[in-house]
Amino acid sequence: MLAAKNLIIDIPERSSGTPLSFAIKPGETWGVLGPNGAGKTTLLHTLAGLRKPRSGTVELAGKNIQQLRRKQVAQQLAVVFQNNGEGFPATVLETAMIGRHPFISPWDIESAEDLAVARAALQKLELADLEHRLISTLSGGERQRLAIATALSQTPKLWLADEPSNHLDLKHQVQIMELLAEQATANCGIVLCLHDLNLAAQWCDKILLLYPNGDACWGDADTMLATPALEKLYNQPLRSIVSDGQRYFIPLSSRNSGL
Amino acid sequence: MAVVKSSRGALPRFLLPLGILALLTLATLALAITTGSVSISNAELWQVLSGGGEPLHRTLVFELRLPRALSAFGAGGLLAVAGALMQVLLRNPLADPYILGLSGGAAVGALTSMLLGLSAAAVSGSAFIGAMVSAVTVFGLAHGTGSWTPTRLLLTGVVIASGWGAAITFMLAVSPSDQLPGMLYWLMGDLAYARSPWPALIVLGLISIIMLPLGRSLNVLARGQMQAAALGVSVRALEWTIYIAASLLTAFAVVTAGSIGFVGLIVPHMLRLVLGNDQRLILPAAALAGGALLTLADTLARTLIAPEQLPAGVITALIGVPTFLYLLHRSR
């Protein structure tokens, strides 16, 4: 579906890095983990074709994404960005509607069907009642849900989401992760940049660890989420506990480590 | 079923406001044609328009008032559409067509020809050249080596504009006093020297048609460059198109009527408050409303203290400043 081939992302003042070669298959959920500034967002944007790689290629359905028309890419791949609500005034419904943009020809206007798709997406993210509100009046969490609703109305086969749980309360975090899992079950490929190791452990099949110096490793979640590797990744001592067969990671500090 | 695309609901939503604005436009044009030193009643206007009427009235209507009213309409429409485009380009609802220094470049061009005592046609021509020099300079500098962010574009434009401002002040300071009133009128924006309305009207029509299929892409671009790219918009091509279109619109407006202020700022802004943010509606609505506003302002300008005439820019500023401050206050 989406594949990286000997990909090195372009981060200023980073001399090199591990060339990334992996393929995201339908139904897989990938988690990208790494400390601040490791290049998670840059990687996500490069995978979306929004940034040129320093070397190597990203292939969407076998074709170099840099050579595809943006519209073709947008018909298959949605990006959820980290910062939303910038830009011009617009209502919630108008914003969800722009997810339909790649599917409407320039001389056409949105059909009733497009409207129905956008409304269903808002409904799914519990934003239907806010339809006519301006984005500027929304809370951070509501904006985040709107960004996901916009991606949902894009009906993508691939989701690239930059910290989709940002700003969300616990209930909505679970709701969003369930929605993404549902999309994966419907054979979408999902890539998530995450800070929350526990969300990664619970929801991701594959994990990619990105180190600040450009090193990277990837594989099945079970093998990648090992405490020593994660401690090295974040340069932070961790404790791992298991409850009901599910692993959890807790960062240690002088307060809870008994030091 | 998927093939059937129902457009019901969307079209009437666009047609009603545009219809109302079109009527308003006709009303302001009629007012502009009938008011003045010799007033013409509606019945007399009808006679003139249907091919009869008194010769004096015919001359007044066809040679003086109609061309001037159409020039005002054209210039106002150009400015309002240019403003609407600039606001989307810079993702800033308070941007106006002059923010990138276009009017300054045009003014330096126009004032130079006036200083040299050239003809009215040369004044228009050099204003156009000045505007284009400014547009290309800002474009080149803002583009530079790095990316073309709205902030960078805005800062470059503002700095270039203040440079032109200094040049204008210098030229006014060294100009012979008998030329100053003409120069000041030009700087305020004045339709007394408007020549043929057709260039303005043709450019307005052409660019409106070119922008029509881009309307939805503009809506997407309004959400930011990255988001637009992720939704399939070729952002750079679209931004260049907007920039070039807005520059041409502004240049033709300035050439027609001097640097009339505020039309390009408040018309799109007010329309958005009333009609929402869909650029497919805002752009044609701005063409009509901007045209109507400047036609009205020019009619007021030549009748308020008749037989003396005010520059139309004074009227738009008198309307614009309080309206703008009110809108700014409202927008928190």
DSSP assignments along B55-108, one per residue = HHHHHIIIIIIHHHHHHHHHHHHHHHHHHHHHHHHTT-TT--TTTTSHHHHHHH
Across the interface, whether the CB atoms of A70 and B234 are under 8 A apart is answered: yes
Question: Tens digits of per-residue pLDDT, A204-242?
Answer: 999 999 999 889 999 999 999 999 999 999 999 999 999
Q: Report yes or no on A233 lying in a domain.
A: no
Yes or no: say if A58 and A2 are a contact pair by the CB < 8 Å rule.
Answer: yes
Question: Rounded to whole angstroms, what are the CA distances from A1 to A81, A200, B124?
Answer: 21, 21, 58
Q: Mean pLDDT throughout A5-31?
A: 92
**pLDDT value for B7:** 44
Distance (Å) from the alpha carbon of A88 to chain B's nearest alpha carbon: 5
Calculate helix-pair angle for B66-89, B263-275, nearest 10 degrees.
70
Residue A79 has pLDDT above 50, yes or no: yes
Give the pairing type, strands A158-162 and A77-80: parallel
Cα separation, B288 vs B307, in Å, equals: 29
Which pair of tokens denotes residue A79?
A: 């990006």
Which pair of tokens denotes residue B264?
A: 């390009």
Specify the range with the lowest mean pLDDT, choosing from A56-60, B180-184, B226-230: B180-184
Choose one of A153, A174, A200: the last residue of a domain. A153
- Its sign, for the CA torsion B301, B303, B304, B306, is positive
Instruction: Kindly list the residues from chain B whose CB atom is less than 8 angstroms away from the CB atom of residue A44.
Output: none
Q: Report yes or no on B1 lying in a domain.
A: no
Choose one of A153, A176, A209: the last residue of a domain. A153
Indicate whether A66 and A108 sit together in one domain. Answer: no
Q: How many domains does chain A have?
A: 2
Q: Mean pLDDT throughout A42-46?
A: 95
Scanning the structure block, which residue is given the tokens 């962010």? B149
Closest by CA position to B234, among listed A74, A198, A115, A8: A74
**pLDDT value for B147:** 63
**pLDDT value for A19:** 94
Closest by CA position to B155, among listed B84, B100, B229: B100
User: What b-and-e string marks burial along A55-66, b requiring 16 or more CB atoms within 10 Å of the CB?
Assistant: eeebbbeeeebe
Q: Mean pLDDT throughout B222-227?
A: 91
Picking from B226, B272, B282, B283 by the largest number of A CB atoms within 10 A of its own CB, the best residue to mutate is B226
Instruction: Kindly list the residues from chain A whose CB atom is less than 8 angstroms away from the CB atom of residue B224.
Output: 86-87
Distance (Å) from the alpha carbon of B171 to chain A's nearest alpha carbon: 39
Instruction: Kindly list the residues from chain A whose CB atom is less than 8 angstroms away from the CB atom of residue B213.
Output: 106-107
Residue B6 has pLDDT above 50, yes or no: no
**pLDDT value for B5:** 40
pLDDT band at B11 (very low <50, low <70, confident <90, very high): low
Q: Report yes or no on B300 lying in a domain.
A: yes
Coil, strand, or helix at residue A48?
Answer: coil
Q: Report yes or no on A100 lying in a domain.
A: yes
Cα separation, B178 vs B186, in Å, equals: 14
Question: Tens digits of per-residue pLDDT, B234-244?
Answer: 998 999 899 99
Q: Mean pLDDT throughout B264-280?
A: 89
Question: Rounded to whole angstroms, what are the CA distances from B79 to A187, B64, B186, B267, B285?
Answer: 50, 23, 16, 9, 12
Q: Report yes or no on B166 lying in a domain.
A: yes
Choose one of A103, A128, A153: the last residue of a domain. A153
Indicate whether A70 and A29 sit together in one domain. Answer: yes
Q: How many domains does chain B have?
A: 1
Residue A109 has pLDDT above 90, yes or no: no
Yes or no: say if B260 and B189 are a contact pair by the CB < 8 Å rule.
Answer: yes
Residue B13 has pLDDT above 80, yes or no: no
Across the interface, whether the CB atoms of B276 and A98 are under 8 A apart is answered: no
Q: Report yes or no on B238 lying in a domain.
A: yes
Instruction: Give me the residue from A73, A91, A101 closest to B216, CB to CB.
Output: A101
Model-level pTM?
0.90
Q: Mean pLDDT throughout B85-103?
A: 88
Question: Is B278 an interface residue toward A (CB < 8 Å)?
Answer: yes
Percentage of the residues of chain B whose pLDDT score is greater than 70: 95
On the 0-12 / 13-18 / 19+ scale of CB atoms within 10 A, B255 is: buried
Indicate whether A45 and A58 sit together in one domain. Answer: yes
Which pair of tokens denotes residue A74?
A: 């947008």
Across the interface, whether the CB atoms of B91 and A87 are under 8 A apart is answered: yes
Sheet of strand A20-24, all strands in order from the earlier edge strand to the far edge = A20-24, A2-8, A55-60, A63-64
Indicate whether A195 and A146 sit together in one domain. Answer: no
Q: Report yes or no on B235 lying in a domain.
A: yes
Indicate whether A70 and A186 sit together in one domain. Answer: yes
Rounded to 5°, the CA angle A83-A85-A91 comes to: 155
DSSP codes joined into one string, A23-45: EEPTT-EEEEE--TTSSHHHHHH
Closest by CA position to B300, among listed B314, B321, B290, B288: B314
Across the interface, whether the CB atoms of B6 and A154 are under 8 A apart is answered: no
Instruction: Kindly list the residues from chain B whose CB atom is less than 8 angstroms away from the CB atom of residue A106.
Output: 213-214, 216-217
Q: Report yes or no on A22 lying in a domain.
A: yes
Q: Mean pLDDT throughout A89-107?
A: 92
pLDDT band at B51 (very low <50, low <70, confident <90, very high): confident
Q: Mean pLDDT throughout B90-115?
A: 89
**pLDDT value for B12:** 67
ipTM at complex level: 0.91
**pLDDT value for A126:** 94
Question: Rounded to whole angstroms, what are the CA distances from A162 to A78, A112, B67, B332?
Answer: 11, 31, 57, 30
Question: Tens digits of per-residue pLDDT, A133-179?
Answer: 999 899 999 999 999 999 999 999 999 999 999 899 999 999 999 99
The 3-class secondary structure across A61-110, one letter per residue, is CCEEHHHCCHHHHHCCEEEECCCCCCCCCCEHHHHHHHHHHHHCCCCCCC
pLDDT band at B8 (very low <50, low <70, confident <90, very high): very low
Picking from A69, A70, A144 by the largest number of B CB atoms within 10 A of its own CB, the best residue to mutate is A70
**pLDDT value for B1:** 33
Q: Report yes or no on B245 lying in a domain.
A: yes
Indicate whether A69 and A1 sit together in one domain. Answer: yes
The residue among A85 and A84 whose pLDDT is bigger is A84
CATH number of the CATH domain containing A54: 3.40.50.300
Q: Report yes or no on A231 lying in a domain.
A: no
Average pLDDT, chain B: 87
Cα nearest neighbour of B272 on chain A: A89
Q: Report yes or no on A184 lying in a domain.
A: yes
Q: Report yes or no on B107 lying in a domain.
A: yes
Structural domain boundaries, residue B177: 22-330
Indicate whether A20 and A127 sit together in one domain. Answer: no
Indicate whether A72 and A166 sit together in one domain. Answer: yes
Question: Is B274 an interface residue toward A (CB < 8 Å)?
Answer: no
Identify any residues that bridge with A2 across adjacent strands, giving them in sequence order.
A24, A60
Yes or no: say if B265 and B290 are a contact pair by the CB < 8 Å rule.
Answer: no
Across the interface, whether the CB atoms of A81 and B226 are under 8 A apart is answered: yes
Which pair of tokens denotes residue B159?
A: 């700095």
Average pLDDT, chain A: 92
**pLDDT value for B309:** 83
CATH number of the CATH domain containing B167: 1.10.3470.10
Across the interface, whether the CB atoms of B2 and A113 are under 8 A apart is answered: yes
Q: Report yes or no on B264 lying in a domain.
A: yes
Instruction: Kindly list the residues from chain B whose CB atom is less than 8 angstroms away from the CB atom of residue A60.
Output: none
Structural domain boundaries, residue A96: 88-153
Q: Report yes or no on A258 lying in a domain.
A: no
Cα separation, B154 vs B288, in Å, equals: 27
Question: Is B82 an interface residue toward A (CB < 8 Å)?
Answer: no
A56: left (phi over 0), alpha (psi -120 to 50) or beta: left
